[in-house]
Amino acid sequence: MKIHLPDNSIMLSVQDAVQGICQYMFDQLNFNHFSYRRHYNDGATIHLVNSDANDHGRTYLKALYGEGLYARAPDVEEAAKTRTDSPRLMGFLTPQFSVADGLANEPIYRKQIELADLCNIGYRVGFYQRFNDYIEINSFGSSSYEIGVFLNFCIQHLVVFQNFIKYFRTEAEGLIEIIKKDPIILAPGLTLESQKSTPADFVGYDFKKKKKITLRLTGQEAATLQQLSKGQTFKGAAKNLLISPRTVENHIYSAKMKSKCNSTNELLEVFSTLTPR
């Protein structure tokens, strides 16, 4: 799988410039997140995100692609087929408008929400539109509203978002051209289904019971155990892996069930003796 982010210095200037373009809109609407994506038909992607003083935008962007938590154009278009209005409004946890809700049971989708929460990106809505050689998605988010207030605000101010999208396309034209020269490259056949963590076998030998140990773990389960083995707390592991503490607990519970260990300490002792195959 070939994925890379553009040069760090370019990304730094680009994300700060996006913040500048959006700042007035943020101040007026009490929003704090904007994302501009183009998914080209050949698999290339450009993705611009504002980045605040705490660098949440860059953290989100790097984790999103580094952890494989993104969706490609075919995934989005498949979900969008259920809607007839164009440009389409889609949003996370939005009743009648959402095309993303159809993915709610996908592990990748749940991890996206967890990542967004860690990066101070609250509820989001987005506008989807198909062009000849790419699809475009503009997303807006706020961590300041309650869900009901957020949805009502978005529905009542659709024209504001649509006008800002036109404004952003004009103001960010130069940035878009820069990023087009070094896009994020996504593997052509990669889909949400194939992004699910592939299990791997960890093997060892129990000398007391004189038997071979084989423990099949997902990538996230193994990464969580590695973090705890290094002395991290559940919260520390969650922060490093950009997942929630509850997800860490779920991974540990799953690994304990697989290994038939009665405690986390026992699980870590077993894991320390194993090597990936």
Q: Where are the domains of the chain?
A: 8-185, 200-276
119-140: b or e for each residue (b if 16 or more CB lie within 10 Å)? Answer: bbbbbbbbbbebeeebbbbbbb
Output the pLDDT for position 24.
Answer: 94
The answer, yes or no, to whether residue 50 has pLDDT greater than 50, is yes
Q: What's the token pair of residue 268?
A: 């870590």
CATH 3.30.420.40 is right for the domain spanning 200-276: no
pTM higher than 0.85, yes or no?
A: no
Helix, strand or coil for residue 90?
strand
Chain-wide mean pLDDT for the chain?
Answer: 77
> If 0-12 CB within 10 Å is exposed, 13-18 middle and 19+ buried, where does residue 32 land?
buried
Domain range 8-185, CATH architecture? 2-Layer Sandwich (3.30)
Share of the chain above pLDDT 90, in %: 15
Give per-residue pLDDT as tens, 113-123.
Answer: 778 888 888 78
Do 49 and 102 contact (CB within 8 A), yes or no? no
Work out the angle at residue 118's Cα, subtended by the Cα atoms of residues 115 and 124, and round it to the nearest 5 degrees: 65
